[in-house]
Amino acid sequence: MILARRQLLSTKSSLFKTHTHNIIVARDMSSTTPKPKVVLRDALLGDMPSVARIYNYYVVLPGNMATFDEEELPVSTLEKRYTGVKDAGLPYIVACLEHEDKTPGEVVGYAYARSYGERRSYQNSVEESIYISHDHLRMGVGKLLMMDLLARLRDIGKKQVVAILGTAEDNPGSYKLHEDCGFKRVAYFPKIGYKHNRWVDRLHMQVSLDPEVGGIDDHVF
């Protein structure tokens, strides 16, 4: 039997989950075709080589605008980023395919949050980041990660979550994922970056986590 990690997720997704000791096992019940089970767990420092593999694919992919980095990042840089997230008490989650013996296996995606700004006034707001392995797209991994990330952020008292991403034309998968998870477009920056020999637009999207605070159109996750 598959149980929901949090009841608030049941109305936003067709994915049913079970949560035990910081591990979520999930499978997509919307199709009769068997799909690999996905396990969500807290990221470890030792996962950063896998994170680097996932991220750097998009860095160097010709024409891709998921990130503005232009050169592959070394594992050490991602280890430093991981340490900063954990030291700030914020969640860093990885998605893994489940082995036959029910233990987590290959990392196929990750999501984390970092402070939206350095000044204390931003202490209730975070910026999120999420990447899925190009070999495991359209499996529901992104939505699993995002919904769990938002739930964890709400549990630790965060109020606003901001995403900085490409437009629906440049990055349709990410744009749709954020829309499906309740994010609303709040800002548009035309030609703010230059990559792959062209000017690139960027969007800011936002979702609110606290009904007492509200936010963009008072839409609350």
On whether residue 2 sits in a domain, the answer given is no
**How do strand 160-165 and strand 125-132 relate by DSSP bridges?**
parallel
C-beta neighbour count of 8 within 10 angstroms: 13
Distance set, CA 164 to CA 6, 204, 209 (Å): 26, 5, 17
Closest by alpha carbon to 55, among 18, 3, 17, 94?
A: 94
Q: Among 12-16, 28-32, 129-133, 178-182, whose mean pLDDT is lowest?
A: 12-16
pLDDT exceeds 70 at position 220: no
Cβ–Cβ under 8 Å, residues 165 and 174: yes
For the whole model, what pTM was predicted?
0.82
On whether residue 83 sits in a domain, the answer given is yes
Number of domains in the chain: 1
Q: Among 19-23, 36-40, 175-179, 181-185, whose mean pLDDT is lowest?
A: 19-23
On whether residue 47 sits in a domain, the answer given is yes
On whether residue 1 sits in a domain, the answer given is no
Q: What is the pLDDT of residue 115?
A: 94
CATH number at residue 194: 3.40.630.30
Mean pLDDT of 11-39: 51
On average, the pLDDT of the chain sits at 84
Tens digits of residue pLDDT in 188-207:
999 999 999 999 999 999 99
On whether residue 195 sits in a domain, the answer given is yes
pLDDT exceeds 60 at position 4: no
**How do strand 184-195 and strand 125-132 relate by DSSP bridges?**
unpaired
Cross-strand pairs, 115: 126
Q: Which domain holds residue 100?
A: 7-218
